């Protein structure tokens, strides 16, 4: 209600004590500053001795009452000029500016209090400043503008890391949030509980769905503090539920319930893994993976030295799943945006993990058909083909990699090719043949400068390996450090006649001479190289074909 000057004069004339306590501990002056914009009525009261400092119980400050209720900046100014206590704080530590920012829609009242020296960034006992209280309770953009234009810190936080933007989010004030962000509020800020602005905005539904209760007479600061705490507690509760959901009797239902209650879909466990990563790691069902994906899980998240979910699935290699189920899981991830060529900290891809764990060839084929980089190299310089060779995988898998463009001559960090690795380690003969037929270069030398043919001849490799190397070698007249060609070397070292014939059929020149001037004919005639049996058989079988 408002008071006319005449009404005030009449009341003064009838009242002996202008400072007497009326209903609820208020004096007439308090009623006027709370409800009236009539400066003359207020001036008249003070001229006749009404005190701005009351002594009633409960004790109210006239300036506080006006700051909360009165939109008149002139009323505020008159109180200040007549002795109102500017430095006074209420029981929660609120100044008149904080109370005005909380309840008063008039930006002129804010400006007036600031002009008279009240500090804009002072905090109350809860750690809230004027901007936070205005963002939560008031909602007036004009009030916010006045505070910010007078150097309110838009990103100031209480001891728990709560900002004004978070307070607006808890209340669901979209327009306030947009304005604060426009004025520089950090949308990505997180409090000490790890909750972001978006968390508070989304999870304010806990206040409605989970039975939040508070005294209906609670102040805005009490209510905001309690709401922050309630949301944070349930945030942690459902995050824990999501982390533990995979190990419940019914993981599908447990995951669905946690997601429905707004658990952070990418919350991390003690290993830094999300629930989605753990679902892949612990070989959970496709439906669990799908629920997490539908809940917007990061399908490219990684943990444990940079491994992603596709790597975990590929690592299982059908240990517990049939290949078909494993393929379906991988396809689900790929359709949801998983990077098929993502590398871990060692540079390994999902394809490499599949090969390293001897995955079914159909799984490997699916990865290749889906765009897996067949020539991706790890930090050791090893490609998927290298992995297949090291694991001694079936030749069909190696052939598949070659069909998809695997570089059979790729050198690892030591400068070794897959062919050289197999030769050096007495690897599988079928794999050696597969590499040679796939284009392995027989001119590439090892660290000692040998080509594969000279290496196997000197070492005395298996017949199959020697034959395949000869078949793949283009230049069969290349000499070693002693001046021998492969043909001369074979003759001097009593190699079976089938190798001599093969060398000749592939273009070995019997006329080439060694460092002593001997050609193949001379060596065959020279008894120092052969025992009696070789002289009888090899001469008859081979030499007759030349002479």
DSSP lists the bridge partners of residue 308 as 302
Q: Is residue 24 part of a domain?
A: yes
The domain that contains 501 carries what CATH number?
A: 1.25.40
The stretches in the chain having pLDDT less than 70 are 1, 317-321, 527-547
When computed from its CA atoms, the radius of gyration of the chain, rounded to whole angstroms, is 43
Predicted local confidence at residue 534, as pLDDT: 52
Omega of the bond prior to 58 within 30 degrees of 0, cis? yes
Distance CA 237, CA 234 (A): 5
Predicted local confidence at residue 51, as pLDDT: 86
Distance CA 198, CA 204 (A): 10
In this structure, the answer to whether residues 119 and 55 fall within a common structural domain is yes
Name the token pair of 107.
Answer: 């930006």
Phi, psi for residue 61 in degrees, rounded to 5: -90, 130
Predicted local confidence at residue 528, as pLDDT: 55
CA 367 to each of CA 87, 296, 400: distance values in angstroms, whole numbers, following the listed order: 71, 23, 11
In this structure, the answer to whether residues 26 and 102 fall within a common structural domain is yes
Distance CA 270, CA 421 (A): 40
The residue out of 151, 172, 194 marking a domain boundary is 194
Q: Is residue 187 part of a domain?
A: yes
Three-point CA angle 220, 28, 18, nearest 5°: 140
- Cβ(39)–Cβ(5) below 8 Å: no
- CA-nearest of 319, 322, 308, 320 to 351 is 308
- CA-nearest of 32, 164, 162 to 98 is 164
Counting Cβ atoms within 10 Å, is residue 29 exposed (0-12), middle (13-18) or buried (19+)? buried
Distance CA 37, CA 74 (A): 8
DSSP lists the bridge partners of residue 123 as 129
Distance CA 445, CA 290 (A): 50
In this structure, the answer to whether residues 493 and 467 fall within a common structural domain is no
Give the rounded distance of the alpha carbon of 347 from its chain centre. Answer: 18
Ordered DSSP codes for 496-532: -HHHHHHHHHTT--TT---TTS--HHHHHH-GGG--H
Q: Is residue 154 part of a domain?
A: yes
- CA-nearest of 298, 401, 285, 279 to 342 is 298
Distance CA 513, CA 205 (A): 93
Q: Is residue 138 part of a domain?
A: yes
Q: Is residue 283 part of a domain?
A: no
SS3 of residue 366 by DSSP: helix
In this structure, the answer to whether residues 435 and 495 fall within a common structural domain is no
Domain span at 140: 5-194
Distance CA 467, CA 228 (A): 78
In this structure, the answer to whether residues 427 and 534 fall within a common structural domain is no
Three-point CA angle 498, 503, 509, nearest 5°: 135
Predicted local confidence at residue 542, as pLDDT: 54
Distance CA 128, CA 109 (A): 20
In this structure, the answer to whether residues 68 and 189 fall within a common structural domain is yes
In this structure, the answer to whether residues 461 and 540 fall within a common structural domain is no
Q: Is residue 26 part of a domain?
A: yes
Distance CA 83, CA 32 (A): 17
In this structure, the answer to whether residues 84 and 190 fall within a common structural domain is yes
In this structure, the answer to whether residues 47 and 77 fall within a common structural domain is yes
- CA-nearest of 315, 259, 261 to 288 is 259
**What are the start-end ranges of the E strands in 76-233?**
none
Q: For the whole model, what pTM was predicted?
A: 0.79
How far does the chain reach from its first CA to its final CA, in angstroms? 134
**Continuous segment of H or E residues that includes residue 308:** strand 307-308
Phi, psi for residue 134 in degrees, rounded to 5: -65, -40
Q: Is residue 113 part of a domain?
A: yes
Q: Is residue 292 part of a domain?
A: no
Predicted local confidence at residue 320, as pLDDT: 56
Distance CA 134, CA 239 (A): 31
In this structure, the answer to whether residues 43 and 94 fall within a common structural domain is yes
The domain that contains 67 carries what CATH number?
A: 1.25.40.20
Please, which residues have CB within 8 angstroms of residue 455's CB and are 6 or more apart in sequence? 423, 446, 461
The residue out of 149, 169, 194 marking a domain boundary is 194
Q: What is the dihedral of CA 335, 341, 343, 347, to 10 degrees?
A: 160
Name the token pair of 145.
Answer: 């503008």
In this structure, the answer to whether residues 433 and 543 fall within a common structural domain is no
In this structure, the answer to whether residues 446 and 528 fall within a common structural domain is no
- Cβ(131)–Cβ(96) below 8 Å: no
Predicted local confidence at residue 536, as pLDDT: 47
For the chain, what is the domain count? Answer: 3
- The total of other beta-carbon atoms located within 10 Å of residue 46's CB is 19
The residue out of 168, 194, 220 marking a domain boundary is 194
- Cβ(164)–Cβ(135) below 8 Å: yes
């Amino acid at each position: 209600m408002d008071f006319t000057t005449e009404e005030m004069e009449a009341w003064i004339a009838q009242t002996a004590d202008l400072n007497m306590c009326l209903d609820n501990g208020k004096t007439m002056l308090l009623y006027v500053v709370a409800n009236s914009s009539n400066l003359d009525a207020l001036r008249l009261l003070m001229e006749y001795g009404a005190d701005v400092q009351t002594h009633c119980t409960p004790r109210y400050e006239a300036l506080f009452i006006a700051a909360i209720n009165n939109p008149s900046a002139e009323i505020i100014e008159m109180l200040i000029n007549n002795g109102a206590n500017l430095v006074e704080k209420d029981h929660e530590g609120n100044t008149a500016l904080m109370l005005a920012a909380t309840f008063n829609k008039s930006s002129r009242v804010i400006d007036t209090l600031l002009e008279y020296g009240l500090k804009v960034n002072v905090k109350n006992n809860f750690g809230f400043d004027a901007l936070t209280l205005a963002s939560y309770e008031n909602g007036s953009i004009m009030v916010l503008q006045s505070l910010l234009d007078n150097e309110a810190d838009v990103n100031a936080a209480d001891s728990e890391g709560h900002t004004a933007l978070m307070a607006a989010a808890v209340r669901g004030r979209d327009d306030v949030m947009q304005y604060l962000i426009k004025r520089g509020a950090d949308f990505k800020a997180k409090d000490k509980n790890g909750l972001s602005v978006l968390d508070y905005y989304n999870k304010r539904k806990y206040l409605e769905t989970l039975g939040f209760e508070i005294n209906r007479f609670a102040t805005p600061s009490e209510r905001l503090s309690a709401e922050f705490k309630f949301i944070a507690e349930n945030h942690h509760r459902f995050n824990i539920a999501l982390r533990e959901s995979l190990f419940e009797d019914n993981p599908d239902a447990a995951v669905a319930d946690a997601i429905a209650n707004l658990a952070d879909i990418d919350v991390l466990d003690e290993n830094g893994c999300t629930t989605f990563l753990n679902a892949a790691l612990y070989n959970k069902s496709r439906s669990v993976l799908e629920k997490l994906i539908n809940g917007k899980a990061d399908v490219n998240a990684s943990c444990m030295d940079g491994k992603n979910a596709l790597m975990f699935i590929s690592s299982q290699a059908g240990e517990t799943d049939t290949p078909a189920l494993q393929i379906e899981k991988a396809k689900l991830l790929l359709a949801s945006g998983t990077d098929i060529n993502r590398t871990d900290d060692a540079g390994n891809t999902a394809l490499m993990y599949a090969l390293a764990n001897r995955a079914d060839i159909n799984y490997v084929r699916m990865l290749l058909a889906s765009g897996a980089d067949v020539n991706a190299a790890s930090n050791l310089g090893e490609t998927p083909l290298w992995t297949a060779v090291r694991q001694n995988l079936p030749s069909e898998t190696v052939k598949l990699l070659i069909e998809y463009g695997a570089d059979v001559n790729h050198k690892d960090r030591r400068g070794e090719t897959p062919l050289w690795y197999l030769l050096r380690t007495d690897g599988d003969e079928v794999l050696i043949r597969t590499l040679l037929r796939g284009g392995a270069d027989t001119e590439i030398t090892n660290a000692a400068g040998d080509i594969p043919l000279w290496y196997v001849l000197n070492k005395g490799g298996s017949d199959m390996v020697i034959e395949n190397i000869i078949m793949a070698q283009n230049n069969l007249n290349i000499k070693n450090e002693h001046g021998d060609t492969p043909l001369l070397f074979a003759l001097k070292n009593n190699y079976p006649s089938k190798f001599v014939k093969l060398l000749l059929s592939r273009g070995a020149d019997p006329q080439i001479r060694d460092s002593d001037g001997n050609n193949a004919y001379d060596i065959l005639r020279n008894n120092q190289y052969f025992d009696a049996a070789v002289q009888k058989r090899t001469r008859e079988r081979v030499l007759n074909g030349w002479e």
